[in-house]
Amino acid sequence: MNHQTIAVLDFGSQYTQVIARRIRECNVYSKIYSYKTSAKQLKKDGVIGVILSGGPSSVLAANSPKADPKIFSLGVPVLGICYGVQLIAHLLDGKVEKSKEREYGHGTLKVAKKGSLFRGLPTKLRVWNSHGDRLAKMPTGFSAIASTENSSYAAIADEKRKIYGIQFHPEVDHSEGGINILENFLRKICGCKGDWSMADLARESIEKIREKVGTDRVLLGLSGGVDSSVAAALIHKAIGRQLTCVFVDNGLLRLHERELVVDLYKRNFNMDVRVARAGSKFLKALKGVTDPEKKRKIIGKTFVNVFQDSLKRIGDAKYLAQGTLYPDVIESIAIDGNPAATIKSHHNVGGLPKSMKFELLEPLRELFKDEVRALGSALGLPKEVVWRQPFPGPGLGVRVLGEINKRNLDILRKADAVLHEEMMESELYYKVWQSFCVFLPVRTVGVMGDERTYDNVIALRIVESKDAMTADWSRVPYEVLQRVSTRIINEVEGVNRVVYDLSSKPPGTIEWE
């Protein structure tokens, strides 16, 4: 890599990804390494600074994860965070002990000596703690530069060797001045220029893909979502028509979705896009099924079968490309001995069987979601693709409640298209997390043109969220809701009532199924 790199050694902290993310916010490239990575490897990679993450273990435990002690002799600055500072003391000649007063949540940090790490910050900061151990004795050469209520050594420094340790978490939003502390470490201590950008990453990624793939062919399952779209655009920039994209039309797509995807990638970007029209297969497999979990399993299994059949017709290819992101990698890393608990094991596209012999090509595996969006913009993808709202893998299959059939799907597609148009027209689409319609298997009495009707109900679901872990219903202006309701009832045959979902997550989920 041509750009300066900061290594983040992962000891299993739930905040490791956040540390890497904060570094990139300072326009500095960061890469997460296993805690087992040798000092020799870090030197070979040319890292100019090392951050030791937090973690759930205690350094006092016999089997706790340890870093290569030679890291402190690399001649590059080191910053230990929470478990990281305890590890510094443990590996050098300091002492760590169980704390009588465990520190979780907010605490007050009193800065005694600003030095390079706290330069430009106030002497009192509200910070976020999460630890049960504490330093009882500092290693030789270190001095205490800050304290909290329960720790005299909340921040320590060896300015001569440029080794620093802090007991709190500067990477989380709860820590006042946290980003400034990290920026001081990066700029003042490591000497980072802060000149890393998505344009640099795009150029380097294209070169890497060309070098790795050579003259071989690559297959990619294109969904039209952000991740697969950006992966496709990046790989296509590198190898052109050596890339073949497979778009599976499962009959559960939104209005004109297949045509829009083909038009965008095939005509505008001149990509080799093969469409597998399998709507009838999916609907046949789903006939009579109402249980949400059964629906999902049937859709997933049918997708795998259709995708496999498509690959047989396309011919030989060496690589299978995926839009795997950094969070997927970290969630799966416990398989390789990482001390963090496994959140979920990473899966191939649609859960493809192991019998399919491909080498994986994952050009986005070191990026976060918002970075993927930025990369997509840099590659020239339109805003409606880059900032598209999340869409579930099973598609409208989990938005038509009850049995799935062509009539109910068509009603939902038309209603959803109306909502999309009005959200775009009112400039609300990109301001919310998701906005969609749900078809309810409920019929109600209505009056249209002085005649009695007995038709279906459409529910509107519009939520605001940062990460989909929690969500709140969006306070959409009444006039917008009125227009959406009026248009759906007037324009979509089979609907005579529209309701608005006022549930938050938790206790409800964003999708209804």
- Contact (CB, 8 A) for 502 and 389: no
Residue 54 annotated as binding site: no
Angle at Cα 170 formed by Cα 101 and Cα 16, nearest 5°?
95
CB 286 within 8 A of CB 298: yes
Q: What is the Cα–Cα distance from 481 to 476, expressed in whole angstroms?
A: 7
Angle (CA) 503-507-510 rounded to 5° is 60
The annotation status of 228 as a binding-site residue, yes or no, is: yes
Helices (H) and strands (E) in the chain, counts: 14, 18
Q: Which of these is catalytic: 90, 103, 131, 171? A: 171
- 82 is annotated as an active-site residue: yes
Q: One of 169, 331, 366, 420 is an active-site residue; which one?
A: 169
User: Is 420 labeled as catalytic in the residue annotation?
Assistant: no
Helix (H) / strand (E) element for 80: namely: strand 78-81
φ and ψ of 266, to 5 deg: -80, -50
One-letter amino acid at 331 equals E
Whether residue 225 is annotated as binding a ligand: the answer is: yes
71: number of CA atoms within 13 Å, CB side?
28
229 is in an annotated binding site: yes
**Which CA distances in Å does 477 have to 423, 426, 462, 470, 481?**
11, 10, 12, 22, 7
Provide the residue count of the chain.
Answer: 513
Closest to 327 (Cα-Cα) out of 21, 8, 5: 21
Q: Compute φ and ψ for 416, nearest 5 degrees.
A: -65, -35
Residue 432, annotated ligand binder? no
Do residues 321 and 231 touch, judged by C-beta distance below 8 A? yes
- Residue 365 vs residues 32, 159, 304, 369, 485: alpha-carbon distances, Å: 11, 35, 23, 10, 42
Dihedral sign (CA 385, 386, 388, 392): positive
**SS (HEC) of 155-196:** EEEECCCCEEEECCCCCCCCCCCHHHHHHHHHHHHCCCCCCC
Q: Is 226 annotated as a binding residue?
A: yes
Instruction: Read off the tokens for 338.
Output: 């990482």
Contacts (Cβ under 8 Å, ≥6 apart) of 313: none
Q: What are the two backbone dihedrals, phi and then psi, of residue 297, each rounded to the nearest 5 degrees?
A: -65, -40
Which residue ranges are tagged as binding site for ATP? 223-229
Active-site residue set: 82, 169, 171
List the binding residues.
Answer: 223-229
